[in-house]
Amino acid sequence: MDIKKLQTVVVDALEDVKGQEIVLFDTTHLTSLFDRIAVVSGTSNRQTKALAASVRDKVKEAGGDVVGLEGEDTGEWVLVDLGDMIVHIMQPAIRQYYRLEEIWGDKPVKLGAAKRKSTVEGLEAAAPKSKSKHLAANQEQEEAKPVRERKPAARKTAAAADGAAKPAARKAAAKKIPTGATVKVAVPKAAAAEAKAAKAAKAAAPKRTKAAAPAAEGAAPAKKVIRRIKQADE
């Protein structure tokens, strides 16, 4: 099987079982025993065994050869020998302790990093890129919201009242009274009616004379006062 096809089949098999941090290295310049090496992490013994079984089955289905399979009994580190390619399936603690990437990782191989999310390159490509906040284009801007101005009902009524009062005020201001002129003030209707009634009653009453006045009033007749002048003794 072609090495490029083999490495593609292996990575697909590891992704099917949710393998974590898949890396692939070209080792042709380091050894003549194999051309590629793959390293992947499994979170438990069951997952590492499932990853190894998936690689074995997928390679056989594609027409490749599986030379050997080691480490299935413990599941901490399972090695799948495919002849031209070696696959190391390790638990995170074991992988961190042996650090195979530092030994074989001179030439990493990228297999469509943007499309493969489980690979290290895929995670880096999917991670959001940091943007400089000094540029105005990179700063987050708030969405513009439409502003709706609503005037309260009280303001509308006040405005209408002001509008109605203005013409009346203008008419009143138009009539100016010249200085020094006599202004006739209209008498209220109630006061005019009372004055008219009093005038009519006065005209209907009989006129009294000075002589008849005491008789009418029942007073005593006037007394004649006779003054006697005492003559002086001669």
pLDDT at res. 215 = 47
pLDDT value of position 22: 94
What ranges in the chain are assigned the alpha helix state H?
3-16, 45-61, 92-98, 100-104, 120-126, 153-174, 189-204, 212-216
Whole-number Å distance between alpha carbons of 36 and 193: 127
pLDDT at 212: 46
User: Nearest-CA neighbor of 22 among 5, 36, 3, 1?
Assistant: 36
What's the predicted TM-score (pTM) here?
A: 0.50
Tell me what pLDDT residue 110 has: 85
What pLDDT is attached to residue 57?
95
pLDDT the model gives residue 114: 41
Please state, in angstroms and rounded to a whole number, the distance separating the CA atoms of residues 174 and 190. 30
Check residue 163 and give its pLDDT.
58
pLDDT in tens, 109-148: 987 644 455 555 555 655 665 655 555 555 666 666 666 6
Phi, psi angles (nearest 5°) of residue 117: -75, -20
Task: Collect the ranges in the chain with pLDDT lower than 50.
Answer: 113-115, 210-217, 234
In 3D, which of 42, 47, 45, 1 has the Cα closest to residue 21?
42
CA distances from 197 to 205, 208, 221 (A): 13, 21, 36
* Domains of the chain, first to last: 3-123 (3.30.460.10)
